[in-house]
Structure 1
């Protein structure tokens, strides 16, 4: 079991070990809450460049770099905190680099760069707890792609997809989803041909053979939850050398099935129940959706979703009704203004969604 979990962790793994049995296991992996973890930030160059400059320590201490942000620049919009220490560029450590080598690495990144950074308070917290500033502990901000959770209810014609073992990004064997039948449960859940399967019912299947993966799926019965990643996201996480399963915060989740678990799948374009999702701003600083308000019907709903934006990656669709915002129920027209203000607040934006029909819209 331990070996399987290590294999499933991707190219990098973080282990907590005890030097002697007398050590308290509760102290080995002290939890780091939101805001006190390193950040993995994806920065897209704009007319002002990446929006940061680099300062460094003494020449005899290469690899000590800090970022000075341009107000309102690309790095600030991507979630880089003020005074952050730079730890990695595109998945590679800067610890042994000189300032000129770092500049060359940033130039070679082109129009986009992914940075692992730590704010001063994060460094202090990790030092106090004895926790390394390690990439597997990072929270993702404005990442260009991410994993998705799919919830399937088997229909009379099955789930409607084919699972096949083949080589993926980097030539590594994996389990891939193909031949997604239009209108069947897999298609309704958002499965795309070419998705790679990461987990079944929340348990990683990385490193498992085809037969064992199929057995895991069949063991779930008529309802199955799959975590998948598309080829674009697969390439990104391979570049930063991290498992996509570490960054599920923005992936769509559904409430646990209740009494309606035995019902047939909902018609295409609608959903039963409600679900929650957490959104982080995209490279341009927005969440990538427009709002609709209707006084006499569904109060607040999604009118339009920008393809490839933060909302699209989190699974939002036109017609989704907004039931709660950051834990507070939505109950009137004033919530439109409240959502606009929340768009400028500290991420994530946490929504509870239902399914409704859109009428009119306003931009967010």
Structure 2
């Protein structure tokens, strides 16, 4: 990034004559003539490195917009972490932590950013340059990989388990003449070599501490004091030189990690006749950390067939982190899922392991599908207290479940908190839905419920509209808003059976009281 060096001279030619390049360092600031500065021909991607502390946000939004290609950076906060890291309004994201994402869906890209933890590396392209590259048919993946050049090899995150006889099987020595740099060499056939450490590797990080900030004596003490295992981040010397040339930090988020001892599992569950088969509880660990924990997994339930064990932590629901969500909000996410849900779970020991290392466990998630067929739960005991069950569905003569949709026409007046709700959407799943409601706000008072699918806004059908267009339609309506909504199970049933969803159905639906869906405070699992 280049900053114009202003001399305070009135003459605009003088103002633009020199460019200061801060990358050369403050000890030897190089002044170059702007007209003679070499610029690579064609689009020039930029590397943006962002780092946040606990409780901070990166300070930007990522959007997919109608009529605009790519993943678009919007709402970059002034003086925020994103702006300081080099992100600009309208940038298009090519890579996240050295993974090419321009051809991925919006939800997956956002998920990659969320799971990166406190440090994030993004390769972006200016909006105009991106549009030009697309118009000219340039290969964006090739453009991104060209920035790495030759000699690029990712670092490796290696978990070493101590052998009773040979120990960790490694030696660490300082690099002569290079302060803060160390080489690590494994004993042939020993635990370190089996974990992926290679002779001559540079030690970047050890048990969560940057090696460059440690002395050789401190590292030796860490190795001696470690109990039965150690985790190191290493890279070969040529790979290190490549990262140095690009002025990019070597982070665990970009590493190849093949032997980490704990990995979160992403599980896909189909709801059974009596729910998913577990309790969800918000508990505090011995370390004082508040977590969402899966308890009392029912035998033969979808949860048990997926491999969920009592005491596992719930890290995500449908790709959304539960870390900052209340118990009620997590329950709401289950409601929005309808008949199927994707969960990311991990053991408490795994969470403690990654907390000790200062890493996000979501970086190491493995996708699992249930290895067994999910059996019908007709044989399961009806009186089981481990699962909060839905009322048994009524059936038509042919045996097809009959659902009574909760269809409502809600009229709102803008208040001090606006209309008092947030909208959400799930990729590849139809229907914009009510994501959150402000307690006591106009939305809640009008009868809106979390998870409701928005069918009409001010009389206009919005089922096929994107989120941004629905929000715009609500804004241009002024201080009054009319919304036709229906609960998610009812919406899916009406669509499946070809039932029209119109305001004329509202009065009829409101007459059915004994068969409406459970109250919003009753868990569906």
Q: What TM-score do the two structures reach when normalised by structure 1? A: 0.61
Q: CA-atom RMSD, angstroms?
A: 3.4
Which residue in the other structure is 2:166 paired with? 48
Which residue in the other structure is 1:101 paired with? 218
**Is 1:246 paired with 2:363?**
yes
Which one of 225, 229, 248 corresponds to residue 112 of structure 1? 229
CA contact (8 A) 2:185 2:198 kept: no
Which one of 311, 315, 318 corresponds to residue 194 of structure 1? 311
Deviation sequence 1:9-29 (CA, Å, 0-9, x none) = 486322549899889798899
Which one of 321, 337, 354 corresponds to residue 220 of structure 1? 337
Task: Please give the secondary structure, in 1, of the residue aligned with 2:269.
Answer: strand
Distance 2:292 2:269 in 1: 17
Aligned residues: 255
Structure 1 residues 92, 137: closer, same or farther in 2, change over 3 A? same
Structure 1 residues 52, 188: closer, same or farther in 2, change over 3 A? same
CA contact (8 A) 1:139 1:247 kept: no
CA contact (8 A) 1:148 1:229 kept: yes
Which one of 13, 20, 32 corresponds to residue 119 of structure 2? 13
Task: Please give the secondary structure, in 1, of the residue aligned with 2:213.
Answer: coil
Deviation at 1:120, TM superposition (A): 2.5
**Is 1:146 paired with 2:252?**
no
Task: Please give the secondary structure, in 1, of the residue aligned with 2:345.
Answer: strand
Distance 1:159 1:190 in 2: 12
Distance 2:280 2:258 in 1: 31
CA contact (8 A) 1:166 1:173 kept: yes
Task: Please give the secondary structure, in 1, of the residue aligned with 2:160.
Answer: strand
Q: Which has the higher contact order (CA 8 A, sep 6+)?
A: 1
Distance 2:322 2:339 in 1: 19
Distance 1:70 1:197 in 2: 39
CA contact (8 A) 2:306 2:369 kept: no
**Who wins on radius of gyration, i.e. which is larger?**
2
**Is 1:123 paired with 2:240?**
yes
4+ residue segments displaced more than 4 Å:
1-11, 15-32
Deviation at 1:194, TM superposition (A): 1.4
Which residue in the other structure is 1:283 paired with? none
Q: Structure 1: which 5+ runs fail to align? A: 256-263, 269-364
Distance 1:198 1:177 in 2: 10
Deviation at 1:232, TM superposition (A): 1.4
Which residue in the other structure is 1:284 paired with? none
Matches within 5 A, 1:271-290: none
CA contact (8 A) 2:185 2:197 kept: no
Which residue in the other structure is 1:265 paired with? 374
Which one of 184, 206, 213 corresponds to residue 89 of structure 1? 206
